[in-house]
Structure 1
Amino acid sequence: MVKSPTVEIVTARLALRRPVAADVDAIFDVHHDAEACHHNPSDLLATRTDAEDVFARWDGHWRRHGFGYWVVSAREDGTTLGFCGLKFVRFRDREVLNLFYRLAPAAWGTGVGTEAATAVVRWAGEHLPDWPILARVRPGNVASQKVAQRAGLTRSASLDEPGEDGPDWMYTIRWPAVAPETDHPIAGHRATG
């Protein structure tokens, strides 16, 4: 488990905080928006109950590991803009951190995605420096590719593979040349896919 002095990340314009049950409506609003999930239609939620399930998974990761996906809000007025964060996943027989970011379309084109993803990658560099980070991006999602690159990840074409919604282009940082040992010094860690 990560021993972090805070679960909040603050940037020039944003506050990233751990989701709470009251965020289920925001999870539903963003993940029920066909435009927001255009490149990942399998993430599109049909019901509020689906959003409750998503929250439960996110909350479970936070409880097990001390970090996860954050709610991204505007510092100025507290408006929820979307979500960004990291979770443990298994990729090609190794445990890695998956970088996730999804914003409401109203926040697109404002640099919020880059600001949030950069802050999360920086946080990981301080709190989880030994863990590689992987972002899966659809080939047609140029904006998401730019966010990954601006956050410090590099295109890793040798890792590309078919994904649930089509080809996944991989972007990585701190990717090891050889597979790490399966046991890692983070106490209580068990990767969950």
Structure 2
Amino acid sequence: MPRQPVRLLTARLSLRQPAQADAEAILGILSHPSVVEHNPSDLVTELEDVEALVRHWLGHWEQHGFGNGCVFEEKTGRLVGNCGVRWMTIRGNRVLNLMYRFHPSTWGQGYATEAAAGLLQWAQESLPAELVVARIRPTNPASQRVATKIGLRRDPAFDDQGEDGVDWAFTCRW
């Protein structure tokens, strides 16, 4: 099992395993239509649905020692997003899917880039042989910029059909 990032720290953020107590704050993020604009099937409007989602995330943590985590501003302690890596299969290949979502009030502050960069570094140190893939809609240039800023590159070999449409792949292989 890889070294578990119990608490991953960046310059302004801390990332940790989610807890059921985080569900209400997560709902405040995932219930924003703008947050899930490119993945509308991920819109969550009921607390019970977020509690189930957190249980799902925790299941990945329990099985693998890592997963989707909660992101907090270090200065305020406010939960501002979720970011993580999880196992998935794309075109028959087992990969680490890197994902990030943040409250709209934080957009433009570099939080997604900072958190994703920290997680990519953790993944490359803890699971160096594994391919990290960020799956991003072609119509989501903001998320594409985050991926390229942290060093991922467009990799059409891993493009795949997502629940809400085609996902472009950005990977760490080059």
Distance across 2 between alignment mates of 1:70 and 1:108: 18
Deviations 1:53-95 (A, max 9, x none): 1100100011111111111111101111100010001111121
The offset of 1:174, in angstroms, is: 3.1
Are 2:149 and 1:150 equivalent residues in the alignment? yes
Partners of 1:69 and 1:84 within 8 A in 2: yes
Is the 1:154–1:173 Cα contact (8 Å) retained in structure 2? yes
Paired with 1:161 and 1:115, the residues of 2 have a C-alpha distance of 26
**Paired residue for 2:100?**
101
SS in 1 for 2:105: helix
Q: Which consecutive residues of structure 2, in runs of 5 or more, have no partner in the other structure?
A: none
Once the two structures are superposed, residues 84-142 of structure 1 have per-residue CA deviations (whole angstroms, 9 ceiling, x without a partner) of: 01000111112110001000111111100000000000000111111101111011111
Distance across 2 between alignment mates of 1:151 and 1:70: 18
CA distance in structure 1 between the aligned counterparts of 2:143 and 2:18, rounded to whole angstroms? 22
| CA–CA separation in structure 2 for the residues paired with 1:174 and 1:73 | 29
Letter in 1 for 2:2: V
Whether the 8 Å CA contact 2:90–2:160 is kept in 1: the answer is no
**Quick one: which amino acid aligns to residue 3 of structure 1?**
R
* Structure 1 position 150, deviation (Å): 1.1
Instruction: Check if 1:164 corresponds to 2:163.
Output: yes
Rounded to whole Å, the distance in 2 between the matches of 1:51 and 1:65 is: 21
Q: CA deviation at 1:32?
A: 1.1
Post-superposition offset of 1:159: 2.5
Aligned equivalent of 1:22:
21
Aligned to 2:59: 60
**1:46 Cα deviation after fit:** 2.8
Return the alpha-carbon distance in structure 2 between the equivalents of residues 62 and 163 of structure 1: 23
Larger-gyration structure (1/2)? 1
Which residue number corresponds to residue 88 of structure 1? Answer: 87
Q: CA deviation at 1:161?
A: 2.8
- For residues 161 and 88 of structure 1, the distance between their equivalents in structure 2, rounded to whole angstroms, comes to 15
- When normalised by structure 2's length, the TM-score is 0.96
Write the letter of the residue equivalent to 1:51. V
Worse-superposed segment, 153-162 or 127-136: 153-162
What code does the residue aligned with 1:111 have? G
Letter in 2 for 1:174: R
**Aligned residue number for residue 13 of structure 1:** 12
The percent of aligned pairs where both chains have the same amino acid is 44
Residue 76 of structure 1 aligns to a residue in which SS? coil
Structure 1 gap segments, 5+ residues each: 176-193
Say how many residue pairs are matched. 174
CA distance in 2, matches of 1:15, 1:125: 19
Equivalent-residue separation in structure 2 for 1:46 and 1:81 (angstroms): 17
Q: Which amino acid aligns with 1:107?
A: T
Once residues 68 and 161 of structure 1 are traced to their aligned partners in structure 2, the CA distance between those partners, rounded to angstroms, is 21
